[in-house]
Amino acid sequence: MNIPKNFYIEGVLLNNPEVKPMEEILYNIEIHKEENKFLGRLFSDVDGIKEFKNERLDELLRDMTLDMQLALDEFTTRSTDFSESHEDHK
């Protein structure tokens, strides 16, 4: 049976030794063109929905990427702080 590497059924990965373990989806991204501007949406479990607008696609992508970076940096910092404070109480 020839199963593609990323073949999923209802979120369950089929037993395929060539496939690495599933990773969590952090963001879903939509980009639409509306008349003379672009609209971007970031969907995440942590931040909900964020919208970005720009006349230039490259600047829209820059803004969206920067927002994701800042959110992930903040999450990493909070996780590290929590881990360190948890270790101090042992």
Question: Do β-strands 12-13 and 48-54 pair in parallel, antiparallel, or remain unpaired?
Answer: unpaired
pTM above 0.75, yes or no: no
Residue 32: in which H helix or E strand, if any? strand 28-34
Burial class (CB in 10 A: 0-12, 13-18, 19+), 25: exposed
pLDDT in tens, the chain (90 residues): 444 444 444 444 455 555 555 577 888 999 999 899 999 999 988 889 999 999 999 999 999 999 999 988 887 787 666 666 656 655
Total residues found in the chain within this entry: 90
Q: Which residue matches tokens 């101090």?
A: 88
